[in-house]
Chain A
Amino acid sequence: AQSVTQLGSHVSVSEGALVLLRCNYSSSVPPYLFWYVQYPNQGLQLLLKYTSAATLVKGINGFEAEFKKSETSFHLTKPSAHMSDAAEYFCAVIPQGGGKLIFGQGTELSVKP
């Protein structure tokens, strides 16, 4: 069955530092891949998605992610963290042929002044 793993349940960075959140998927055929963000006491909203067009995907709020088939990864990055980026981030996958949307365990991002 399709699965997705996020390395690191908590990541803490200083304001202005690089943000790197890791996501790996497990399937022989690359799925569609998504990053969602959840702010406290809210639902989830889409940051960006990979749908087999470009391997480097740009999203909202300065985030981007690179799909690497050889590493079965889809890591999320942002060059310079802002206090407002503090939230929980989820990687998710869905098979290209359609099916269930499965989420990783989530990574809580803290940003220190």
Chain B
Amino acid sequence: DTGVSQDPRHKITKRGQNVTFRCDPISEHNRLYWYRQTLGQGPEFLTYFQNEAQLEKSRLLSDRFSAERPKGSFSTLEIQRTEQGDSAMYLCASSSTINYEQYFGPGTRLTVT
């Protein structure tokens, strides 16, 4: 399978704990995106990388959120001191520089109890 993969698929954590998600993009894609989706809503943009550079961050991305893509391949999204409002599906997508089409992974569903 050469699509976008995300790990874990599901995460349940207690409020106040830190969590980290991983995304592996399609291998030849140099752009990588993180989105958050709550039930019944469309995905909301969080941040994106071109290679290892983080080029844009949404105002939704509070100080508790940090994303990295250290070698321009996989990326991690960390949420510190999780809150119940962080419960959502976290989606990763990737694209090439040739076209705009973003391919999404299956997402990581986070539940904060």
Do chains A and B stick together as partners?
A: no
- Residues on B lying within 8 angstroms of A by beta carbon are none
